[in-house]
Amino acid sequence: MQPTKIKLNQIGAIIAESFNGKKEIVCYLGSNAATPTASIEALTRSIMSQKPRLPFINMVHLLLQGPVPYVAAGLQDRVMAYSIFSGGEVRQAANEGRAFYLPCTLANLDSLIGKGRRYEPDVVILKVCQNQFTGEFSLGLSVEALHTAIDHAKIVIAELDPSMPFTQGQSVVDAQSVDYIIDGGVKPVYDFAAPDFENLIPEEKRIGELITDNFIQDGITLQVGIGKIPDAVIGTIRDAQYKDLGVQTELYGDGLMLLEEKGIVTNRKKRANLGYSTTSLIMGSSALYDFVHMRAGVQMRPCTYTNSAETIHKNSPFISVNTAIGVDLLGNVWADFIDPRRYYSGVGGQPDFIRALNDHAYGAPIIAIKSITHRGESKITKMHPPGISLTASAFDGVVIVTEYGIADLRGLTTGEKAMAIARIAHPRFSDDLMRYVNEDQLFTKPSGFSLDKTPKGVTLYDGRIKIAE
């Protein structure tokens, strides 16, 4: 049975009729590069006009690209956003009390939206593309938790988007799982300029060099986020010409494509998903989308799989590279808030990989950050901002990397951690932080401690890339 074709302006009426008499429903939205913007805008018009009369809608989603009009002021008596990861308009709305931040790691999304859970979907709105030969639908660039959402929803509405690549793996959806399909007025997927791997700034190149020289080896499995620092890691891996790397990641971007094109990523050494890269989301350039289209070597999986400790352990040795907003001297890391009054994004999958890699036997969870902000403030602080949520706690065995060195915190005491972290801070702040550690009795110092010695766990940068201090 094929889905019923509808127009964008029918979405409101279908929801109103399907949930007639119900006061409140949950709508789960597809996310990231596959955000169904046209449907979001059409449904928002119905919410605003109150024609037809709709139940109160709880919108649950990860990062949405493009406009999100339902978070506008004045609509919160009719619709409310529950954002697991945010940007742009949703971030602003959350900081102004017009949207909820719903903290959850990607590995645990099913615990929010599964059967009988508070956010079990009544409606799912997403994008699909179609295989012209088989007629199958694919979730394309965004799988995340959509299979769970589809399985439990009463209505599934899909935009049929020919601009989206048909991806392989667990992105395929049978026609019976989609109730309504929209093939007119759909906006294309979101694409972004590819990183310039040839012109990375010196600080980022130094971080990439430190990680590559000290943690990357032939045959390891790699997870990297998207951003300038992960891009620098990709660039240095490419230049070092490692062999037979594997990829298991939550988000696949242009950098991982580059390594696959160069033959550096082959996935030949993986014990789970041998022979292909696994990811839950794909986001990047139009060239990336052309690359993954119908490619068996890049396959989609739900984020509960890509981010699960069991799968990560099977593919060890495993190196995870993510970034953060700040780190304190106890080894606490934060990435979703700037301070308790300024929400920024979400925890994503960072804690999933950190916790899975706590044991040395499986690999290393790396937090890579530049030592200072664009305002010249230290990203390494004495204490984390009071009341802020953490993506890694002092008891998590993370590795911190700045352009000045590596602080491998695994197995270190509180005092040793503090000294190691202070030592890789920017030189404008490092001496003061070291003196603070020296003078505070909280940080028990090891025998033979001296401010002149390189602390335990620290590898200082001694390469050739120079930067202005």
Q: Where are the domains of the chain?
A: 4-182, 202-460
Query: pLDDT digits over 84-130, tens only?
Result: 999 999 999 999 999 999 999 999 999 999 999 999 999 999 999 99
Rounded-to-integer distance, Cα 315 and Cα 219, Å = 10
Lowest pLDDT segment from 47-56, 99-108, 320-329, 337-346: 337-346
Residue 213 clears pLDDT 80, i.e. is over it: yes
Q: Is 469's pLDDT higher than 80?
A: no
Q: Compute, in degrees rounded to 10, the torsion defined by CA atoms 314, 317, 323, 326.
A: 100
What average pLDDT does the segment 211-215 reach?
96
Is residue 250 part of the annotated active site? The answer reads yes
Confidence band for 446, pLDDT divided at 50, 70 and 90: confident
Most confidently modeled of 197-201, 351-355, 385-389?
Answer: 351-355
Query: What would the 3-class secondary structure string for 272-320 be?
Result: CCCCCEEECEECCCHHHHHHHCCCCCEEECCHHHHCCHHHHHHCCCEEE
Q: How many CA atoms lie within 13 A of 278 on its CB side?
A: 23
Neighbours of 441 (CB within 10 A): 7
Would you say residue 448 has pLDDT above 90?
Answer: no
d(CA 300, CA 43): 29
What is the chain's mean pLDDT, rounded? 95
pLDDT at 263: 97
pLDDT for position 35: 98
Reported as a single tens digit per residue, the pLDDT across 268-299 is: 999 999 999 999 999 999 999 999 999 999 99
Report the candidate in 190, 54, 181 with the shortest Cα–Cα distance to residue 124.
Answer: 181
Backbone torsions φ then ψ of 234, nearest 5 degrees: -60, -45
Same fold, 4-182 and 202-460: yes
309 token code pair: 């400790």
From the candidates 89, 203, 209, 250, give the one annotated as an active-site residue. Answer: 250
Note the pLDDT of residue 421: 98
Least confident residue range of 38-42, 231-235, 320-324, 418-422? 231-235
- CB-based contact 233:403 (threshold 8 Å): no
CATH number for region 202-460: 3.40.1080.20
Confidence of residue 226 (pLDDT cuts 50, 70, 90): confident
User: Which H helix or E strand runs over 156?
Assistant: strand 155-160
Q: How far is CA 107 from the centre of its chain?
A: 11
Average pLDDT over residues 349-357: 96
pLDDT reported for residue 353:
97
CATH ID of 4-182, from 3.40.350.10, 3.40.50.720, 3.40.1080.10, 1.10.10.10:
3.40.1080.10
Residue 413 vs residues 184, 418, 459: alpha-carbon distances, Å: 61, 9, 17
Residue 56 Cα distances to 23, 43, 103, 169, 303, angstroms: 6, 12, 22, 35, 29
Consecutive H or E run containing 421: helix 414-423
- Cβ(157)–Cβ(40) below 8 Å: no
Candidates 178, 226, 172, 165; CA nearest to 34 is 165
Residue-wise pLDDT for 253-272, tens only, equals: 999 999 999 999 999 999 99
Q: What is the pLDDT of residue 30?
A: 98
Across residues 381-387, what is the average pLDDT? Answer: 92
Report the pLDDT value the prediction gives residue 231, as an integer from 0 to 100.
87
